[in-house]
Structure formats: C-alpha cells, structure tokens
Chain A
Amino acid sequence: MASEQEILEGLADIVNEETGIDQGDVQADKSFTDDLDIDSLSMMTIVVNAEEKFGVRIPDDEVKNLKTVGDAVAFIQKSQA
C-alpha cells in the first residue's frame, strides 16, 4: 500500500517520463488536459504505466473521469485498498 504522497510522486515520474513535464508541476489540483496539456494518446500510456507501477487496473471507461492528477491518485489509492 502506497501513501497518497507516494502515489503522487510515482505518478509524477510516469508523467515526466512520457511528456517531459517537470515532476514538480504534477500537482493534485492540476487537470491532465487543461493544465498539463496531455493528449489522450499520452494519457493511455500514463494509465498503463500506472497500472503496472501500482498493481491496479484502471478500466478504459474510468479514464475519462480522471480529470485531475488528484482524481488519479484517489482512484489508485482506492483500488489498492
């Protein structure tokens, strides 16, 4: 079980790897599309990498509900519980 902070940091690493965005800019209140300018193709890669890293399954239907980084962190934490 990872803490909220650990998930956020892990997610920030994945986002950085995929898009080059600084880890520090990947904050809970940031929108993936509006603030971080991440397109749907990059989002797919981020989701799959997050699944692998955190040992969870994020269904495709769920991805559209993950609007902010915080949404994703919460979903991952809930799935791990």
Chain B
Amino acid sequence: MATFELYRRSTIGMCLTETLDEMVQSGTLSPDLAIQVLTQFDKSMTEALETQVKSKVTIKVVPSAQGSRFTQGLGEGHLHTYRFCDNVWTFILQDALFKNEDSQENVGRVKIVACDSKLLTQ
C-alpha cells in the first residue's frame, strides 16, 4: 500500500523523527532501521486517521466585512496562495476560521498541505 510521508511533519511525526535522529546519532539504531520505523509510522498514522477519527472540520476565511472592520481591509480573510505541484495542493490562508463540533480556532495565517487521496487507493 502506498503511503504518504506527509504526516511526518505533524507533531508526533517530528517527535519520532527527532527520536530516531538521536538514536541513529548515538549508534543505537541503524539508519536503515530508522527509515523502516518511519515508513511504518506513515502506515500507522494513515490507518489511524482513517479508522479512529470521525470528526469534521470546516475551514473558512474571515468574512470580508468582519475582516475589514477589524483590520481595516489589510487582513481580510482570503486565500493567499494556492499551488498544485506533484499532486500536492498547497493553500495558504490569511485569517482563516477552523470549526469543528466543539471548538473554533482563528488563525492569522495557515498553510494547508494536501496529498491526493486517490494515490492511496491505487
């Protein structure tokens, strides 16, 4: 099964990478084995997201009216950058709103990196 290395950039992935770093550095772990662990992480993380996570999120930008009121037009929420490269979409949002069932987060600027989900099913 194909996997994405995408999730290695998450907090848990970075923690694993650092850990493996240290252990390879100290000689307790071979680089090959470290890579195998990372590959396994790719699989496990993908699987966990598929099977264990049920929540939904909506992503929007701060409405222009609100944005202009608070930022005088400078920070009005919008899609700042979009990019599609090697089947990876990247969006950079200015003044975005993330909502899920129990919380809402406001973010001045956020980057969204998304791989093509179809690649996993192939």
Decide if A and B are genuine partners: no
Q: List chain A positions with a Cβ less than 8 A from chain B.
A: none
